[in-house]
Structure formats: structure tokens, C-alpha cells
């Protein structure tokens, strides 16, 4: 199995991180991989905010839990039953924001490709990750101004998703089970 295929096969969603900080050289390598993500018509509609300040990650975790409690009580209860941490104690995260193009939110496909690129680049460096769609609760919908300025999110961009980064605490989860029934081959 090639290194790339093995990286894809062994990547999983880590939901319990050590608080150990990530090496700056690895964060920079993941950032460069993110910038190399393909996008439709090369519009590159994204912005990546790499947050390695653990206190800010924890603050965003709290903001997200507050919003989740209001907007999605079911998701809030599920999060609380898993330890009460939206970001699973991750020491770092990448917030991906995106801009509107022609009056519409940029392609979710472009953000999805960048998200996968970040998660796979991290795994290739021995760093665990969790793609966290609920993270948008921390960045959107607050009665007060969302933390866009503190995250370096440019004007005209919206917080879309986050990728949590760190090292697994305890035994890693197994990658999800594959369902061969999801494949069709046409020759």
C-alpha cells in the first residue's frame, strides 16, 4: 500500500486530544498543503485561520457550546454526553472561512476539498484530526459580534468549518468501517 493510500485508510476522527502543542514546522507544512488544495476555476474562495493559542481554542469551544445549547439542544446534549467539549481538548484548530462569489456562498465542494487536504496532511505528519462542522456555532449567530477579527477572518468571509488538530490521548479510534456496498464499477 502506498503511503498516501495508507494515510487515507488510517485517518480517523479523533475525539480526545492531548493538550501537547504542535511543532510550528508541522503547522506550517499543513498550512502549505491547505493552500495547494484545488478549487473550481482556481477561485480559491477560502481563508485558513490556524489557531495554536490553546486559550483561544478553549474560548471558542465555550462560545460554540453556548450557541449549540440555544440552536440545537440535541447536538448540545450529545456533546455533553461525550465529555462536554465541542473541540475535544484540541490544542490547535484550523478555521476555514469562505467568501461569497457572485452573491452566493462559494462552493462547498472547494471548502470540502481543502478540509480533506488539511486532515490528510496532518495524518501524514502523525497528527490526529477531527473535522468539526459544529465548530461554526462558535463563529456564527451570536448576539454579539462573532470572533472574526480575532481569527483573522477577512471581511466578506464567513466561518464554515474547522479541523481540530493534535495528538490522540489514549488509544486512537479505529478508522470508520468501510461499506463495499457504496461502490459501483461500470466497465
The domain that holds 28 is classified in CATH as 3.40.109.10
State the residue range of the domain holding 21.
Answer: 3-171
In a domain, 16, yes or no: yes
Beta bridge partners of 63: none
The per-residue pLDDT for range 80-112, each reduced to its tens digit, is 998 889 899 999 999 999 987 765 555 788 999
Query: Does residue 109 belong to any structural domain of this protein?
Result: yes
Phi, psi of 48 (to 5 degrees): -110, 125
Residue 180 included in any domain: no
Residue 20 falls within a domain, yes or no?
yes
What are the pLDDT digits (tens) for 3-36? 999 999 889 999 999 999 999 999 999 999 999 9
In a domain, 181, yes or no: no
Residue 164 is assigned to a structural domain of this protein: yes
Model confidence pLDDT, tens digit, residues 129-149: 999 987 666 665 545 566 778
Q: Please list, in sequence order, all residues whose beta carbon lies within 8 angstroms of the beta carbon of residue 162, skipping any fewer than 6 positions away.
A: 87, 93, 94, 95, 96, 131, 132, 135, 136, 138
Question: What is residue 1's predicted lDDT score, i.e. its pLDDT?
Answer: 55
What pTM was estimated for this model as a whole? 0.89
The C-alpha atoms of residue 34 and residue 144 are separated, in whole angstroms, by: 30
Residue 39 counted as domain residue: yes
Domain count, the chain: 1
Amino acid at each position: 500500500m502506498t503511503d498516501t493510500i495508507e494515510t487515507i485508510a488510517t485517518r480517523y476522527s479523533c475525539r480526545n486530544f492531548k493538550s501537547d502543542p504542535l511543532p510550528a514546522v508541522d503547522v506550517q507544512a499543513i498550512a502549505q498543503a491547505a493552500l495547494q488544495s484545488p478549487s473550481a476555476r482556481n477561485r480559491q474562495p477560502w481563508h485558513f485561520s490556524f489557531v495554536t493559542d490553546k486559550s483561544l481554542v478553549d474560548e471558542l469551544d465555550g462560545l460554540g457550546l453556548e450557541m449549540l445549547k440555544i440552536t440545537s439542544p440535541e447536538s448540545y446534549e450529545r456533546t455533553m454526553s461525550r465529555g462536554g467539549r465541542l473541540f475535544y481538548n484540541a490544542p490547535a484548530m484550523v478555521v476555514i472561512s469562505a467568501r461569497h462569489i457572485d452573491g452566493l456562498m462559494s462552493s462547498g465542494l472547494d471548502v470540502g476539498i481543502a478540509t480533506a487536504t488539511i486532515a490528510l496532511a496532518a495524518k501524514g505528519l502523525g497528527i490526529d484530526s477531527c473535522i468539526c462542522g459544529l465548530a461554526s456555532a462558535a463563529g456564527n449567530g451570536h448576539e454579539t459580534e462573532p470572533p472574526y477579527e480575532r481569527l483573522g477572518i477577512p471581511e466578506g468571509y464567513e466561518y464554515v468549518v474547522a479541523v481540530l488538530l493534535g495528538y490522540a490521548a489514549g488509544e486512537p479510534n479505529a478508522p470508520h468501517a468501510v461499506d463495499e456496498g457504496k461502490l459501483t464499477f461500470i466497465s
